Chains A and B, each alone.
Chain A
Amino acid sequence: GEDVEQSLFLSVREGDSSVINCTYTDSSSTYLYWYKQEPGAGLQLLTYIFSNMDMKQDQRLTVLLNKKDKHLSLRIADTQTGDSAIYFCAFLRNQGGKLIFGQGTELSVKP
């Protein structure tokens, strides 16, 4: 079946790097995503990676994909208080186009 797992909480100091991890079971997806949700807001598409890539970098964000271990991570460099939010990893199931979400990691950034 489909399963996406994330740790529920992460706390870091401002200026440190944050690493949010995600493991999944379905390896057939073409896309894997990271969404950010701030309190009271919708989901913001942060970045995504194609399944044939190992790494994608976009300014302070680095996504790593280890297909062998079915492990996806999001690294945020120089974490700021504005990065405090819930981060969801998700993958797109090829058949039907359904987006499967992890439980979300609540990132808390302390000054």
Chain B
Amino acid sequence: DAGVIQSPRHEVTEMGQEVTLRCKPISGHDYLFWYRQTMMRGLELLIYFNNNVPIDDSGMPEDRFSAKMPNASFSTLKIQPSEPRDSAVYFCASSFGTGIIGYTFGSGTRLTVV
């Protein structure tokens, strides 16, 4: 299995632009998570899905952020409009079942908003 695949690896965009981050989870995994890593807050959970349905989006910072999972093999995290404070590394992770053995993370997308 190729693991969790995220694209792009790096994204540089201007303030006010729309940014879309993409994730392909491991086949057969029924949970998908979006995390954001910053120096100050570490890994913050933004939203997670179970069987393509959003379960908990309490970590989404504000209405500028949205996430979708149209099918079991694809998810997007969109920021519109982007702001410099959104600059961070965004990770997608997937798991099967309860996650007792942890999640499998993708390599992340480093977002820079200038």
A and B co-occur in one complex? no
Please list the residues of chain A having a beta carbon within 8 angstroms of any beta carbon in chain B.
Answer: none
Q: Residues of B with Cβ closer than 8 Å to A?
A: none
